[in-house]
A = this chain, B = another copy of it.
Amino acid sequence: MQRGTNLGRLGDFNQAVIFESIRRAAGGVSRVELAESTGLSPQTISNVVRRLLDEGLVREDRTVVLGPGKPRTVLELEADRLLSLGVHVDPGMVSVVMLDLRGEVVVSKRVDEPSLEDPERALEAMASAVEELIEASGRPRGRILGVGVVAPGPMDRERGFLAAPPLLDGWNYVEIVEPLRRRLDMDVLLEKDTIAAALAELWKGPERGRENFVFMYLGAGIGAGIVVNGEVLRGVSNNAGEVGHFSVGMDFVEEGAEPCRECGRLDCLAVAFSFARVAASARRRGIDLPEELEATVAGRAAGMNRLVELALGGNGEASALVRGGARMVAQVASRLSNALDVDEVIFGGPLWAALDGRHLATVAEVINGGFVARDLHGISVVSSDLGHQVGAIGGACAVMDALLSPKASALLLR
């Protein structure tokens, strides 16, 4: 149903717009520049800036003279005034970061080969890791807006638990948000890994503005984060981005391969890039990846990391296998770019980060070569700059996004 505009919320919205502009202005910004960039009146800017100064979120940093006219006072963000935390649980690694208002990492922590079999203990360990990080940061607890916990889907984000996640067996319907909220006594939200990664890129991306892109997330699982017109596409249950049963093509399937137990195909991404399939190929090529690794999530993640290490170390067979995996993911990215007509695809996540930029040219070729509207525009294919922290940064961004960012929808009456 169409709704009219909510005049009472215009003030809040404009304040959020101005604060967001200050947060995004790297070298400080003057009131005149804010009026230009937001289109708001000098009077509105002046009133809002006064409030932000009073709240200690902004400081008057220095005065600059630009040609004739009154010298301009440069406003600087008090980036440390508010902080947020992100905890990313990927079966291959747990990453925790604290971000300041600018989105810069204040402190961070990484746990390789985490114990995730017992969810209750894992949640305890997460809470401790958060406490340690706060301690290490030396920042007062009162400045922390909240914690964004990032995990593979599917999940029930509203109720705060994972729903039959294929990568975290024991976590089925285990509550995550409530126990952490109680333990930490702060706001906690849950976010899907691929959506968090897209949020992180939206915030940290270059200033030219990424508006329409697909983020191909490579971790223990593979999924896509989708951004349309500058907003993350969440889907009706916050589970958008499931691409596990997209086909990669039969040329990636070796003889005797088992079909996917879910969809029945031989060449869906989930089975073609599964550790079992990759490890079997590796063993046939003389690479030692013990079958025992296949039994646990941690083992599979460790095995995949081992293969990447071998490839980076110069093992030609391992390198070919890893390149094959990258090409499989590129096939899926190609389908998505055609369906969504984006002009950018970003590759990232802990597994991609470990590859250190390799195979980027290969995946770019697959994606642009298969783009149906290529006569109209190309697709820029890039690696995320955020490394293995992309998910955790996205979790912290989700907290700031929920609490600070202006939402045009808030302008409409409820």
Residues on B with beta carbons closer than 8 Å to the beta carbon of A236: 211-212, 341-343, 377
**Which bucket holds chain A's interface residue count?**
35 or more
Write 22 A-B pairs (CB below 8 A) sorted by A numbering: A1-B37, A3-B37, A4-B38, A39-B412, A154-B373, A212-B236, A224-B339, A228-B228, A233-B340, A234-B341, A239-B372, A240-B341, A241-B339, A242-B338, A242-B372, A243-B338, A245-B334, A245-B338, A245-B372, A250-B266, A250-B267, A336-B339
- Of B153, B154, B235, B341, the residue contacting A340 (CB under 8 A) is B235
For residue A40, CB closer than 8 A to chain B, the reply is yes
Oligomer: number of copies: 2
Stretch at the interface among A12-20, A105-113, A287-295: A12-20
How many angstroms between the C-alpha atoms of A340 and B40 in the bound complex? Answer: 36
Q: Report the minimal beta-carbon distance from A379 to chain B, rounded to whole angstroms.
A: 9
Chain A residues numbered 222-262 whose CB sits less than 8 Å from any CB in chain B = 224, 226, 228, 233-247, 249-250, 262
Chain A residues numbered 189-223 whose CB sits less than 8 Å from any CB in chain B = 209, 211-212
Q: DSSP majority for the A interface?
A: loop
Q: Report the minimal beta-carbon distance from A183 to chain B, rounded to whole angstroms.
A: 26
- Of B154, B339, B412, the residue contacting A240 (CB under 8 A) is B339
Stretch at the interface among A119-127, A129-137, A305-313, A403-411: A403-411
- Of B40, B156, B238, B375, the residue contacting A413 (CB under 8 A) is B40
Residue ID in chain B nearest A40 by CB atoms: B4
Are B163 and A239 in contact, CB atoms less than 8 angstroms apart? no
